[in-house]
Amino acid sequence: MSETIRFDLPQSQIPTHWYNIQADLPRPLPPVLHPGTKQPVGPADLAVLFPMALIMQEVSQERQIEIPEEVREIYKLWRPTPLLRARRLEKLLDTPAHIYYKYEGVSPSGSHKLNTATPQAYYNKLEGAQGLTTETGAGQWGTALSQACNFFDLECFVYMVKISYQQKPYRRVMMQNYGATVYASPSENTNAGRGILAEHPDSTGSLGIAISEAVEAAATSGGKYKYALGSVLNHVLMHQTVIGEEAILQMELAGEYPDVVIGCAGGGSNFAGIALPFLPEKIKGNKKTRFIAVEPSACPSLTRGKYVYDFGDSVGMAPLVKMYTLGSQFVPPPVHAGGLRYHGMASIVSELHDQGLIEAQAVPQLETFDAALKFARTEGIIPAPEPSHAIAATIREALAAKEAGEKRTILFNLCGHGHFDQSAYEAYQLGKLTDYEYPAHEIEEALAHLPVVEA
């Protein structure tokens, strides 16, 4: 057996096209609805927020969409990313499973988010935007968009969830290093933020609130600024498919094909990036690969939410999307997996789950950090809390393979490093972190405020 643990591709094999799964879905995605009229939105409805190129990608049914050469040139700064065999973790677990991970932490921003931040900045610059507004949870998306705006000489305004702003000050500094202006959300800058603070002065924020602020800032800018989102939307998930497209070639180099593909899921971009390019083989019936989206028990949209129409933000400014949701009024607890604290799930991931093509698991915080330390002490990389959920699910699968006495090939997406998450690791090692299962009655209360949409 080969002892190779790293499988690399030459830059000539950076994907030339993004994969659009909408072309292969057994049934089409439900339409996106206008927040006011509750009728399907058209391109003109979205033009105040997004450039037309991204709006067209959002609704495209083309299987392959060409990556602009200017974007591929920037991709060369970190792509292709490595695929590694986690042999030391396999040995620790004493499992017959073969564990592989795609490592996106080698990007300049330290995560997979730059895969979509780059084209989003490119298309906005092409269509004359002066700058971009956005939200960020843990700060990985805000960091990536700050870098991308810098590449294309765009201003960048980031509304950072307040608890993450406090927990991760160096992420804020990193964004500022690239020229971004960063606000703790909820803020006094917007009507949405002021309204939240008037009702909840001590609010620790949420991604839904931060989205409301960023959307408002763009929509009221008189066309100077557009809005950029780091997950959830179809075009964002599509941009991330460069991860899985490379992984398919790298698994061929390794001489294996995954039985299980795993990614963490908050809004859905990380999971989609690794999973979507592998899914056509399952849809066609050629492979029986299992796909597992892993979320925190503290924010369990796929495992405990409803598949209904809901707002993407907390105030109700964003379009209505059919998704697994805990309700746009849901405010998750201040757990350390900041990038996964979103009330809903991407339409594509939601539809795949509803069709039974993917599975979902919720992992508690302590199991997540235990898995992260096991990985760090065997493989040497300290993972961010978000992808550590995928590591926890991978360990579950590897131990299940051991229990069953069967070989199992597992692939997961390690979408970022945890260099700026050391306060979370310290809290875990000092015994200050606890598990949090969201009370059913509080989820029911948040779901009681869902918008009424006629079937």
Residue 334 forms part of a structural domain: yes
Query: So what's the pLDDT on residue 1?
Result: 41
**Residue 353, token pair as written in the block:** 């789950």
Residues of the chain under the 50 pLDDT cut: 1
- Evaluated on CA atoms 206, 212, 213, 218, the torsion sign reads positive
Task: Determine contact, residues 289/278, Cβ cutoff 8 Å.
Answer: yes
Angle separating helix axes 114-126 and 52-59, nearest 10 degrees? 130
Looking at this protein, which amino acid is placed at residue 294? V
Query: So what's the pLDDT on residue 138?
Result: 77
Residue 166 forms part of a structural domain: no
**Residue 403, token pair as written in the block:** 């229990």
Question: What gap in Å lies between CA 220 and CA 213, rounded to an integer?
Answer: 11
End-to-end CA distance of the chain: 56
Residue 387 forms part of a structural domain: yes
Helices then strands, counting H and E runs in the chain, come out as: 20, 15
How far is CA 408 from its chain centroid?
A: 26
Question: What gap in Å lies between CA 293 and CA 268, rounded to an integer?
Answer: 8
How far is CA 52 from its chain centroid?
A: 23
Nearest to 96 by CA among 84, 87, 105: 87
Q: Helix, strand or coil for residue 349?
A: helix
Torsion of CA 50, 56, 58, 59, to 10 degrees: 140
Question: What gap in Å lies between CA 17 and CA 150, rounded to an integer?
Answer: 24
Residue 303 forms part of a structural domain: yes
Contacts of 77 (CB under 8 A, 6+ apart): 107, 108
Residue keyed to tokens 């391109």: 43
| CATH of residue 296 | 3.40.50.1100
Residues paired with 325 in a beta bridge: 306, 344
Residue 47 forms part of a structural domain: no
Q: What angle do CA 424, 145, 224 make, to 5 degrees?
A: 135
**Residue 119, token pair as written in the block:** 């084209």
Burial 51-65 (b: 16+ CB within 10 A, else e): bebbbebbbbeeeeb
Query: So what's the pLDDT on residue 298?
Result: 86
Task: Determine contact, residues 309/320, Cβ cutoff 8 Å.
Answer: yes
Residue 122 forms part of a structural domain: no
Residue 205 forms part of a structural domain: no
Looking at this protein, which amino acid is placed at residue 90? E
Distances (CA, A) of 326 to 116, 432, 439, 441: 26, 27, 12, 12
**Residue 136, token pair as written in the block:** 């960020």
Any idea what DSSP says for residue 452? P
- Domains held by the chain: number: 1
300-335: per-residue pLDDT in tens?
999 999 999 998 877 777 889 999 999 887 776 665
Examine residue 10 and say whether the peptide bond preceding it is cis (omega within 30 degrees of 0).
no
Cβ neighbours, 10 Å, residue 42: 12
Contacts of 12 (CB under 8 A, 6+ apart): none
Residue 125 forms part of a structural domain: no
Task: Determine contact, residues 180/149, Cβ cutoff 8 Å.
Answer: yes
Cβ neighbours, 10 Å, residue 355: 12
**Residue 81, token pair as written in the block:** 């990313």
On the 0-12 / 13-18 / 19+ scale of CB atoms within 10 A, 344 is buried
Domain extent, residue 283, equals 6-13+68-110+235-447
**What is the three-state SS of 75-99?**
HCCCCCCCEEECHHHHHHHCCCCEE
Nearest to 446 by CA among 332, 327, 276: 327
**Residue 258, token pair as written in the block:** 């995954």
170-197: per-residue pLDDT in tens?
899 999 999 999 999 999 999 999 999 9
Question: What gap in Å lies between CA 431 and CA 78, rounded to an integer?
Answer: 36
